Amino acid sequence: MELAEQAESLNHLVDENPREAIRQALELSGNINIDLLKAAILVDAGGLLKDFDSVFKGVEIFRFVVGKCKENSELNYNLANGLHALALSTSYEGYSWYGVTEKYRLEARQLFYKSAIDAEASSDTRSQSFTNLGNLLWSSYRWVEAYDFYSQALEENPKNAVASSGALKMLRYALGQGLGDPDLVKAEIEHLASHINQNIDTIHAYSGEYGVNGIMGEITNIRPSRKSDQEVQVDSYERFVIKNNLTLSPTIHSHSHNSEHWDNINISSVTSPSGSEFGVPEIFAMVNVIKSDYILARQIFFHACNDHFNETANYNDTLDYASYGINESALALAQRSALDILDKIAVASLSYLKVSSAKDASMKNAWFKKPEKGQKTREFDPIIKAEIENGNTALLALTEVSRDLSNKQGFLSKKQSSRNSSTHRFTVLHDMGIPREKGTSGCVEHFDLEEFTHESLSTLKLTRAAVVYFVQMVLIRERRISEETGEVTVPLFVPSHEYIRGGDE
């Protein structure tokens, strides 16, 4: 039988009888293409059955081949799929599952991201990689980032209905959590349902009959509706914010809205034990500073990208196509400022949860006990662990962001290194070729200007996600406290700063 016929037969069998597909796949042997088909069937069918051993065999084949072709995006994508399937095939025993599966999920996120941003990869591979990275992030409740990656998947392939179904699921989750403007979120959900109905063939191509049945079943109660062609009348800055989904709100502002203050995510109230000292809890001041710092970083990035800062200096040309000036420095500052906010979110979280030494925390280490000498795995601080086990999924999301930033294998670790460069050393941006070798001092680091700009934008998206998770973390905890019996508590509502200062709401 020809390889193409074998693949078609086995892929059909995965939907009809996955156990038989595994049996037949295990009998395959031959050249590398046969091995790759074998691995794909073991991962797909094993994943459906949550058969860890079968998936593991497929992963080992992919890992062996990837070891010989490390830059092949399709192979990296397939290995990432296998690692994700390994995690999902691991028995779930409460929140300990996240610790047990961390190594699989961490590597899978890195490989999906690597394939998604590979300019040499096909648009289909990039779109599927962004989609599956979104799926993987959603498995640890990182729904804001997942939504962003589903959106990027649709940019790569506008007919990717698997991605639009993922985006729809994230918005339904936000709606269920009481986040965002209900009317705007519902309108976007209806638009996404319409997109899914128009592109069922891509669901079949990407996920098979099993995927079609699952996705269509999730939208049966949604009235599909096309998005209005009427363009939102906004200035260039707000258009940039809307296009890149950078509002400090879970609502997607692609529709008209009447709010002057569209960065409107807030903590409405917290519960204070009876007998607490009079005064507004510090958490409200912290949220205000986090929001204003983010909005400033976002504005600096926008103005830097559009050369809005007036240049008053002249510079020496270093004859290596480096680009110098206030706008380049502003770009590096925006990226650094956005990452600094992550540390403030960690401090605010620990302060709110009453964890000791909150003021010395950073996003990388805030959530974990100090490791003992030789210890490779990081254990949660007891207060953090208890809060997560009580169902605070947003806190879990923040800890998972931390892992991707602090681990060398994390797909966000590059952001940390570029921040360290612009903070402590010298970041030089090039609009043409980058020097292959570092200077003699090692104090200057060179980056491609376009890539650095793209990376800075993704950092703003990450920071926005972390702000939303932080506010959601407080919301989840406050809801739980209000439902618990025991100590008498009093909800504290804080008035609008604009109202107190005499401004309009």
Residue, of 499 and 360, whose pLDDT is higher:
360
Residue 319 confidence (pLDDT) above 70: yes
Q: How confident is the model at residue 415 (pLDDT cuts 50, 70, 90)?
A: confident
Residue, of 255 and 303, whose pLDDT is higher:
303
**Domain containing residue 153:** 128-230
Tally of CB atoms within 10 A around 286: 19
Q: State how far Cα 355 lies from the chain centre.
A: 26
Strands 426-430 and 444-448: parallel
Asked whether residue 307 is domain-assigned, the answer is: yes
The confidence score (pLDDT) of residue 444 equals: 87
Residue 257 confidence (pLDDT) above 60: no
Check the CA dihedral 194-195-201-207 and report its sign: negative
Q: In the numeric block, which tokens belong to residue 255?
A: 């529709």
CATH number at residue 112: 1.25.40
Total domains, the chain: 3
Q: What is the pLDDT of residues 348-402, one digit of tens each?
A: 999 999 998 898 899 998 999 887 776 767 889 999 999 999 999 999 999 999 9
Please list, residue by residue across 465-501, b when 16 or more beta carbons sit within 10 angstroms of its beta carbon and e when fewer do. Answer: bbbbbbbbbbbbbbeeeeeeeeeebeeeebeeeeeee
The confidence score (pLDDT) of residue 136 equals: 97
The confidence score (pLDDT) of residue 52 equals: 97
Examine the domain organization and report whether 135 and 182 are in the same domain.
yes
- % of the chain beyond a pLDDT of 70: 89
Residue 294 confidence (pLDDT) above 60: yes
Asked whether residue 255 is domain-assigned, the answer is: no
Strands 489-493 and 269-273: antiparallel
Asked whether residue 270 is domain-assigned, the answer is: no
Residue, of 353 and 438, whose pLDDT is higher:
353
Tell me the backbone φ, ψ of residue 442, rounded to 5 degrees: 75, 10
DSSP 79-127: HHHHHHHHHHTSPPBTBHHHHHTHHHHHHHHHHHHHHHT-TTS-HHHHH
Residue 469 confidence (pLDDT) above 50: yes
Q: How confident is the model at residue 342 (pLDDT cuts 50, 70, 90)?
A: very high
d(CA 466, CA 395): 10
pTM for this model (two decimals):
0.91
- % of the chain beyond a pLDDT of 90: 60
Last residue of a domain, one of 97, 121, 145: 121
pLDDT, average across residues 180-202:
90
The confidence score (pLDDT) of residue 258 equals: 58
The confidence score (pLDDT) of residue 68 equals: 87
Examine the domain organization and report whether 304 and 442 are in the same domain.
yes
Examine the domain organization and report whether 382 and 471 are in the same domain.
yes
Examine the domain organization and report whether 58 and 168 are in the same domain.
no
Task: Tell me the sheet residues that pair with 491.
Answer: 271
Examine the domain organization and report whether 116 and 150 are in the same domain.
no
Examine the domain organization and report whether 74 and 160 are in the same domain.
no
Examine the domain organization and report whether 304 and 397 are in the same domain.
yes
The confidence score (pLDDT) of residue 505 equals: 47
Q: What is the pLDDT of residues 4-22, one digit of tens each?
A: 888 889 988 998 899 999 9
Most trustworthy range by pLDDT among 149-153, 232-236, 374-378, 432-436: 149-153
Q: How confident is the model at residue 422 (pLDDT cuts 50, 70, 90)?
A: low
Examine the domain organization and report whether 323 and 214 are in the same domain.
no
Residue, of 100 and 181, whose pLDDT is higher:
100
d(CA 129, CA 112): 5
What's the burial of 264, exposed, middle or buried (CB within 10 Å: 0-12/13-18/19+)?
Answer: middle
Asked whether residue 248 is domain-assigned, the answer is: no
pLDDT, average across residues 130-159:
96
Q: Is 139 helix (H, G, I), strand (E, B) or coil?
A: coil
Examine the domain organization and report whether 21 and 75 are in the same domain.
yes
Last residue of a domain, one of 66, 90, 121: 121
Examine the domain organization and report whether 463 and 350 are in the same domain.
yes
Tally of CB atoms within 10 A around 360: 10
Nearest to 41 by CA among 53, 24, 60: 24
Nearest to 452 by CA among 474, 430, 484, 476: 430
The confidence score (pLDDT) of residue 313 equals: 94
Q: Average per-residue pLDDT in the chain?
A: 88
Residue 292 confidence (pLDDT) above 70: yes
The confidence score (pLDDT) of residue 353 equals: 95
Asked whether residue 237 is domain-assigned, the answer is: no
d(CA 129, CA 64): 20
**Least reliable range by pLDDT among 277-281, 293-297, 444-448:** 277-281
Examine the domain organization and report whether 381 and 410 are in the same domain.
yes
Asked whether residue 265 is domain-assigned, the answer is: no
Asked whether residue 213 is domain-assigned, the answer is: yes
Last residue of a domain, one of 214, 230, 246: 230
Maximum C-alpha span of the chain: 80
Examine the domain organization and report whether 27 and 86 are in the same domain.
yes
Asked whether residue 266 is domain-assigned, the answer is: no
